[in-house]
Amino acid sequence: METMLGFDLDFWDYLTFATVALASIAVLLTFIWFAGLPGRIAAARDHPEAEAVNLLGWAGVLPTIYPWVQAFIWAFKPTDVIDIRRLPREEAAALARARALRSRKSKPSSTAVSSKPRRVGH
């Protein structure tokens, strides 16, 4: 190796190479974590457009930071969407049904498993 470089590589040179490699991997993993952060937040909050937030987070981090910031804000946007095709009383009833379904989903089921077998298929 001395003939190529003009000097011998010792322990400290190899330690420097390993440190640079580990630092590069840490920077890459941090970049990946930050790029996917808006999508993970939107999915955790059951955002109706979580996939779009995820894509904007990934696409927005590459050219500039502005689209990533927009995706980050969008991930926290309240998602109680009001459908203007229904009258206010119908909308309130639909939102109440959606809240009831969400609360049933989040609670673990305490009912016993039915002993009667269910038919699957025809």
**Is residue 110 assigned to a domain?**
no
pLDDT in the model for residue 41: 94
How many alpha carbons lie under 13 Å from residue 90 in its C-beta half-sphere? 5
Is 78 a member of any domain? yes
**Could you list the residue range(s) of the whole structural domain that residue 18 is in?**
2-103
Number of domains in the chain: 1
pLDDT tens for the chain, 122 residues: list them. Answer: 556 677 888 899 999 999 999 999 999 999 999 999 999 999 998 888 899 999 999 998 887 889 999 999 999 987 776 656 666 787 788 888 988 988 887 766 555 555 555 555 55
Tell me, what's the pLDDT at 102? 86
To 5 degrees, how large is the angle CA 116–CA 120–CA 122?
A: 120
Token pair for residue 112? 């016993």
Residue 116 lies inside a defined structural domain of this protein: no
| pLDDT (0 to 100) of residue 1 | 54
- Amino acid 48: pLDDT: 86
